[in-house]
Structure 1
Amino acid sequence: MTPFTVDSITDLTGTTAVVTGANSGIGREAARILAEKGARVLMAVRDTDKGAAAARTMTGDLEVRRLDLADLGSVRSFAEEVEEPVDLLINNAGLMMPPLGRTADGFELQFGTNHLGHFALTNLLLPQIRDRVVTVSSVGHRTGVIDFEDPNWQQRPYRAMRAYAQSKLANLLFTSELQRRLTAFGSPVRAMAAHPGFAATDLLRTPQNRIVDTVEKVVLRVVGHDAEGGALPSLHAALSDLPGDTYIGPGGFLEGSGDPWPVERSRRASDPAAARRLWALSEELTGATFPLVAASASGQRVD
C-alpha cells in the first residue's frame, strides 16, 4: 500500500469541510491543506481573532466562524448558521490535561469539550453531512475508562490524565456507535477516527503541567513529528476510500510518528455495549439525538 501524503490528495474543488480547532496545531494544518487543495473550509474556532490571524497565513477559500465546544448554546448557534451541505466534518479541537474546570453546562472540561461538544455538533450537522465525520482521538485512549456513574468528576478526586484518557476513549466509542447507526439507516456517510501520534503542537504547551512539559521536551524529540505530520491521519481518514469506523494513526515507533495507516484500538474502545451506553448518556447530557430515521416502513429511529 502506498503511504498517504499531502501529494496523495487530489483536487477538492466543490468540497466543503468544517474543521474544529482550526486556528492552531493539527487543525490549522488540516484546514490549510484542505484549502490549498481547493476545498471550502469553515474554520470553527473559539477565538475568532486568532482564527482570522491563522486564515490570513493560508491560501484558498476559508471562512472563520465562532464555535465554543465547551458551551452547548454556542454549538447549537454554530450548527444553525451552517446552511450549506457539508462534505467533511473533522472533529479536531480538544484539551489535554488542564486543571479541573467546568464547561458552561457544568461538564468536566475535557469530557465536555473533547467528547460531548463534538457529539452534539455532529448530530446537529448530520442531516447536512454528505461524506465523512472524522473524530480525533489519541493513543491516550488506551488507558481510558468511562466512569458511567461519574463521568464529570463530581464524586471523585480529579485526575487530569485519567480525565483526558476517558475523553479520548469516548471519541472512539462515539465513532463506532455513530457508524453503526449510519449503517442501520442506510446512509453513505462514514464515521472515521484518527490520532495524530506525538505531534508538537500548542496542545502540549501548558506550563502549569510539568508532566506535559517533560513529554514535550523529551518524548516528542525522540519519536514525535510536526503539526503537518500530525494532521495527515485525519486527512487520510477524511479523504481515502476506507471502511467506516476505520481508525488511522502514524505507523512508526509507538505510533508516535510516521506515515498514517489503519491502527488497532484498545479492547475497551471495541466494546459495542459500552458504545451504546455512552451514546445514551451523551444524549441525556446534551439533549442532542441521532437525527436520521431508519429507512423502513416503520419509520422508527435508530437506537
Structure 2
Amino acid sequence: MTGWTADRIPDQRGRVAVVTGANSGLGLATATELARRGARVVLAVRNTAAGDDAARRIGGDVEVRELDLASLDSVREFAARMAVDHPVVDLLVNNAGIELLGPRRTTADGFELQLGTNALGHFALTGLLLDGLGAARAARVVSLSSITHKNAHLDFDDLQFVRGYRGTTAYGRSKLATTVFGLELDRRLRAVGSSIVSALAHPGLTRTNLTPKAWEHRGRVGKVLAMAGLLVTQPVEQGALPQLRAATDPAVRGGDFFGPAGLGETRGRVTNAKLSREAADPAVGKELWAAAEQLTGVRFL
C-alpha cells in the first residue's frame, strides 16, 4: 500500500499533544506515533487505570489525565488543570467517541449520550483549551469524523433526538455535528486571523473496540455481527493515519479533511475525503455553533 504513512510524521519534540480517548483504538495508535516522534502526549481518558496501562505500552514522554467528555464538570476541571501545567498546547486531537446501538441514554448534563460525548464535549474542550492553543506557534485541532456523517441530518428542532430515537441514526448525527464543528471552527479561526489550524479526518471502517461494544445489547446475534465486522475493516494502525496526517503533515491547511481512498472511503491509503453538502454548509455551521454554546455554556470565537 503506497501513500502517506506514519514514517512521514515530522519531529514532534517540544510539542504538547492532547489526545482524547487515547487508551485504546485509534487514540492509542495516534498517541503512540506522536510519542514515538518525541511529543509530550497527554492521554485524556475517562478510565485512568486503562490510561496508565496504555502509557506503559506507549513509553516516551506520556502522562495520563482524567477526562469524561460526558460531563461538562469533568471537561472544565481537565481544562483548568491543563492551563496550569501546560499553558501552551500545540495539538488537540478530538478522537474519543462512543457508539451505541441500544436504548437512548444521556450524559451527566442531560444530553443524548452520543451527541454529548462525541460532539458537545469536544466543543467545550476545544473552547476551554483555546488560550493554550493560541499560545502555540502553529497549533492544530483535529476533529474525528466518520463516513456515517454523509447520510445524517441535524434536526435542530430535536437535536437531543428525543423523538423516534435510533442508536445508529444518533451516531451518524453526532459525527455530522463533529464534522460541522471542525469546519465552522476553521471558518471562525480564519475570520479572526488565528494561526490555529482546524483539520478533520475519518478512519473509514477500522477495527476498534467501539464496534463490538456497540453490538453488546444484541447478545449472541451481536457477537456474530461483531465477528463479521472483522472481515470488512482495516487495522487500527491504518485507520489512524488520516488523523495523524491531519495532525502533523506540514502541508495541511485549515478545513482539510482526510480519509481512506479505497472502496467508498472505507479503507486504504490516505487521501482527501468528501464532505456531505450539509456538513459543508456555513449556515448549518453557524446554527450548530449557537446551539452548542447555549447547551454547554462555553462561548468562544
**TM-score higher than 0.5:** yes
Inter-partner Cα distance in structure 2 for 1:184 and 1:271: 16
Structure-1 residue corresponding to 2:266: 256
1:214 to 1:146, Cα distance in 2 relative to 1, 3 A:
farther
Inter-partner Cα distance in structure 2 for 1:11 and 1:267: 36
Structure-1 residue corresponding to 2:128: 124
Structure-1 residue corresponding to 2:79: 79
Inter-partner Cα distance in structure 2 for 1:218 and 1:269: 30
Structure-2 residue corresponding to 1:90: 93
1:209 Cα deviation after fit:
4.2
Structure-2 residue corresponding to 1:208: 217
Structure-2 residue corresponding to 1:139: 147
Secondary structure of the 1:183 match is helix
Picking from 267, 289, 301, the partner of 2:299 is: 289
> Which amino acid in structure 1 is aligned with residue 143 of structure 2?
T
Structure 2 residues not aligned, in runs of 5+: none
1:141 Cα deviation after fit:
0.4
Inter-partner Cα distance in structure 2 for 1:213 and 1:232: 28
Picking from 159, 163, 173, the partner of 2:180 is: 173
Structure-2 residue corresponding to 1:58: 58
Note the alpha carbon deviations across 1:81-129, whole angstroms, 9 max, x for none: 1122111100000011243111000000000000000000001101111
Asked whether the equivalents of residues 251 and 260 of structure 1 are also in contact (C-alpha less than 8 Å), the reply is yes
Structure 1 residues not aligned, in runs of 5+: 293-303
Secondary structure of the 2:243 match is helix
Secondary structure of the 2:292 match is helix
Asked whether the equivalents of residues 137 and 168 of structure 1 are also in contact (C-alpha less than 8 Å), the reply is yes
1:212 Cα deviation after fit:
6.7
> Percent of aligned pairs with the same residue?
48
Inter-partner Cα distance in structure 1 for 2:112 and 2:226: 24
Asked whether the equivalents of residues 247 and 264 of structure 1 are also in contact (C-alpha less than 8 Å), the reply is yes
Secondary structure of the 2:181 match is helix
> Which amino acid in structure 2 is aligned with residue 279 of structure 1?
W
1:23 Cα deviation after fit:
0.4
Secondary structure of the 1:35 match is helix
| TM-score normalised by structure 1 residue count | 0.92
Asked whether the equivalents of residues 200 and 216 of structure 1 are also in contact (C-alpha less than 8 Å), the reply is no
Structure-2 residue corresponding to 1:188: 195
> Which amino acid in structure 2 is aligned with residue 135 of structure 1?
S
Structure 1 runs, 4 residues or longer, greater than 6 Å off: none
Structure-2 residue corresponding to 1:267: 277
**Residue-pair matches, total:** 288
Inter-partner Cα distance in structure 2 for 1:86 and 1:98: 35
| TM-score normalised by structure 2 residue count | 0.92
Secondary structure of the 2:3 match is coil
